[in-house]
Structure formats: C-alpha cells, structure tokens
Amino acid sequence: MKAIDDHIKDELKSRPEKKRDWRTYEQMDVERISYAINLLKHLIHEAVSAIHIYDSDPGRPFALTLEQKVKLLLIKQLVGKSNREFAYMLEIFSMIAGIDISYKTVERLYSDELVIMALHNLHVLLLKKKGIKESDATGDGTGYSLTVKKNYESYAQELKDKAKENRNDDKGKQSAKKRKTFAYSFRLMDLRTKMYIAFGSSMKSEKEAFDNAINFIKTVDVKLKSVRLDKYYSESSYVSLFDKDTAVYVIPKKDATLNGSQKWKDTMREFVTDTYQYLKEYYKRENSEAGFSADKKLFGWEIAQRREDRVDSALFCTGLWHNLFNLNR
C-alpha cells in the first residue's frame, strides 16, 4: 500500500499543470444553468401530472397548487435564503406572480408528502431524459453543517484525532454532538453523465446515509454495472450489499482478511492480480469529491432546516439542482 501511495504522488508531481480558460468555463456554466431553468417548468409539470390525488374531504383550499409548491421549494433551495427571508422576497414578487404566502408555508413545503413524491418523479424523469439505464458509478459521503460555526472536514478530522487518543471516553457525548452539528449525505454518481442516481441522508451517521442511498437506488430503474467506494466501506458486509454482476472497487484496509462472502474474495483477488487496472477504475472516485465541492460552492455548506425529514428534503433538492445543471453537459 505504501508503494502504491508513493507511485501516485510521483505521478501527480510529473503531470504538467493545466491552465483553465475561465472565460470559456463561465460561459459554459451559464449555458448549462439557462438550459436547466428553461426546461424546469415542463419537467415539473410532467412530474406532477403523474400524481393523482383522491381526497373526499374538501377542507380548506390550498393557497398553492402542487406545481407551485415544487417550484417554490426548488427555487428556495437554489437562492439559499432562510424561510423568512424567502417569504419576504415572495412579497415583493407577488406583484408579478400573484403568490402571497407566509414563511411557515415555505417551511411546510419540506415535509409535504405530495411535494416529496413530485420531487422523486422529477429525479426519475431527469435520469430517463439523460438515458441512464445502466451505470458505472462512484459513491461518497459528506456532511452539511447545521450551524455556521463548524466546517465538516476540520470537524471530522477533530473526531478522528480524539478517537485515536481515547476510543471509549465521552463516546456518547461525541455521538450526540455529531447529530446536532451535521447532517450526513451520501450520493451515488454516474461517471458518464456526472449526474446523481441515488441519494441518502441521515442525522446520525454517514453509514446510515449510505444505507438509505442503497435503498433509494431500488426505486429507480437503473442497473449498477460497477461502483467505487472509499476505504470506510472496504469490508465484506458492504461489498456484499451489491448484486453479483456489480463490480465493486475498494482499497483494502491494512488489516483486511479474506473472511467474508465470495464476492468479497473475488474483489480482493482482482485487486491483487490486476492492481494497475483495478486502481485506474478505483480512482475515478475523485468525481464524487468534485461533485460535492461544486455543490457546496453553488448552494453553500449549511442546512437551515432542523427536523430530520426536512433536512432530507433540502439535501434532495440540492441533488436535483446538480442533475438539472448537468443535463446540458
């Protein structure tokens, strides 16, 4: 493993540094965003049209249609304002759009079951529009701050350092602190299109977010041909979660053994017998990190919601915007 790490460092040093044409890059970025915005109205209409509501109790009529709710939630997540600030913005634009609602109405959008259904339909439509039926994927997790005082990477490193010093003391306190400080997100990305095919989130751990993402992919009609995961998932139990036809690329830990399923044994055999080709596939995982970096630059690294279901919806919207902006790539 040390020889492999040294080789990679030498390779990176020997590569010539590429200069980016910022004018062309920004122009392409604007074109992608314009394409997504222009297409969004039609896609939302199609996603909502698949939902049929049967309600015998007329009750109080809704102030917004389902289409308006979905649009508002996606726009709110894009502009990155608080619920109250966004409601004030709507007051200004109500002169044009005729929408007059309170910040409480905006907050409830995150837990509206019909809105969540429409967002899921929208996700499936985006994958179909891009022609994703089979996927060579990469997966990774990250954290979104629930407070402005913490950065996820520095906080995660702090936890690792504390764990090395003492793995038992204050374990419960650290877990409680993590739940209150960060929301964890795991996403599977298609390497060809750079679009997310599955999402998972959790207020407890990245592992739970990973489990939710694996359950999510069962709800979309996409077959996984291969998947790349970081060292955290380099265990037989994780590798065995995938179908036998799905190639899994992980770097074995230093204390790894061959104990486990046949799929785990086959994965380790491929790592040993064809290491170079295996690593070429594995290091495509850097696309996940690039995706998270781009998302946080565009949407920020904070989540304003506190309720778990609403945090899930906020992270789902971020993933949808990522996919919308990659439609024209």
Instruction: Give residue-wise pLDDT tens across range 228-246.
Output: 999 889 999 999 999 989 9
Q: Could you give the 3-state DSSP secondary structure of residue 256?
A: coil
Query: Is residue 3 a part of any domain in this protein?
Result: no
Higher pLDDT, 6 or 313: 313
Q: Which domain holds residue 287?
A: 25-52+63-325
Give the rounded percent of residues in the chain with a pLDDT score beyond 90.
44
Query: Is residue 2 a part of any domain in this protein?
Result: no
Higher pLDDT, 101 or 196: 196
Beta strands in the chain (DSSP E): 134-145, 182-190, 196-202, 223-228, 247-249
Q: Could you give the 3-state DSSP secondary structure of residue 162?
A: helix
Instruction: Give residue-wise pLDDT tens across range 63-122.
Output: 788 998 898 888 888 877 666 666 656 665 554 455 666 677 778 889 999 999 999 999
Mean pLDDT of the chain: 82
Lowest mean pLDDT among 19-33, 66-80, 262-276: 19-33
Query: Is residue 4 a part of any domain in this protein?
Result: no
Query: Is residue 160 a part of any domain in this protein?
Result: yes
The whole-number pLDDT of residue 79 equals: 77
Query: Is residue 81 a part of any domain in this protein?
Result: yes
Tell me the Cα Rg of the chain.
22
Query: Is residue 210 a part of any domain in this protein?
Result: yes
Query: What is the pTM assigned to this prediction?
Result: 0.77
Tell me how many domains the chain contains: 1
Query: Is residue 35 a part of any domain in this protein?
Result: yes
CA nearest neighbour of 227 among 319, 276, 217: 217
Residues 63 and 284: their CA atoms lie apart, in Å, by: 47
Give the rounded percent of residues in the chain with a pLDDT score beyond 70.
76
Give the DSSP letter of residue 61. P
